[in-house]
Structure 1
């Protein structure tokens, strides 16, 4: 399709969006925006389903994943804040809500009197099992079934490579 008065070419992406192919980073800006949009929409679908089915937010589920995947591992609020990219006050408020709902409990660290450990309560473990099933259903519905099997494997592998590059450098 012919472009604008500047003479730059408009190109249609595979997602149906138009972008200026010679604009500063046009395709990369578009692709990154699409990645963020898809991730955000999927996260919103997961959050809605978890709230409806389990009474927890997606962020609460992320805490339960961290606490329930490796039983017995000592996890501080600071570690949760780092893992979830939350501020210390943000994780404090989150843990307050979760403790009030009977999902987690705070216990003093036996090694450092200044630290507080967070561990799953029995109710939190039960909710985690239920929430993991809901999470898998939503991800399966929108991610696994929307992408061909071979493409899915390549997508996950590529995302892993991007994650490693971001962590390493």
Structure 2
């Protein structure tokens, strides 16, 4: 092998094995695997996806608050069409209903139904069990406080006010 391609291979290997790439990879892998565990448990025990739970969290957080489909898309970091399809499925399942906005005829509001609130309560308990087992329990109490503080700082640096969906 020529010296130039060997140098390029060495540089690429150093970049791929850098501590920043490694550490960020750990974060993404842990978050992805936790998301998969939560989603599997919710589908198995409650018949809803984790994304549906996130919608219900947002709708149940402040009773009586008007939440538009546009706000849900922004909060969940979904496309407008993806949000529409998600709300369609949730509406078909009886979890949410769309209502016209009294303040803006162009806007559609989404609210949880009684069935949606009941599903939310069951799903929130399942979610809590999975989070406790795989996110909280493996980490020492002091380290957990530092971890959640650091995640809040990262979200602030990224422009997220720290408000979960």
Q: TM-score if structure 1 supplies the norm length? A: 0.85
Q: Residue 56 of structure 1: SS of its match in structure 2?
A: coil
Q: Counterparts of 1:147-158 in structure 2 under 5 Å?
A: 147-158=139-150
2:90 to 95, 98, 103: 98
1:30 Cα shift? 0.8
Query: Greater helix percent: which structure?
Result: 2
| Cα deviations by residue, 1:24-59 (Å, 9 ceiling, x for unpaired) | 771101111110000000000000000011100000
Q: Counterparts of 1:30-69 in structure 2 under 5 Å?
A: 30-69=22-61
Partner residue, 2:116: 124
Partner residue, 1:141: 133
Structure 1 alignment gaps of length 5 or more: 9-19
Q: Once superposed, which parts of structure 1, at least 4 consecutive aligned residues long, lie more than 4 Å away?
A: none
**Cα RMSD (Å):** 1.6
Q: Counterparts of 1:67-82 in structure 2 under 5 Å?
A: 67-82=59-74
Distance 1:84 1:157 in 2: 21
| Cα deviations by residue, 1:107-129 (Å, 9 ceiling, x for unpaired) | 00001111110000000000111
Structure 2 alignment gaps of length 5 or more: 1-5, 161-165
State the structure with bigger RCO (CA 8 A, min sep 6), 1 or 2: 2
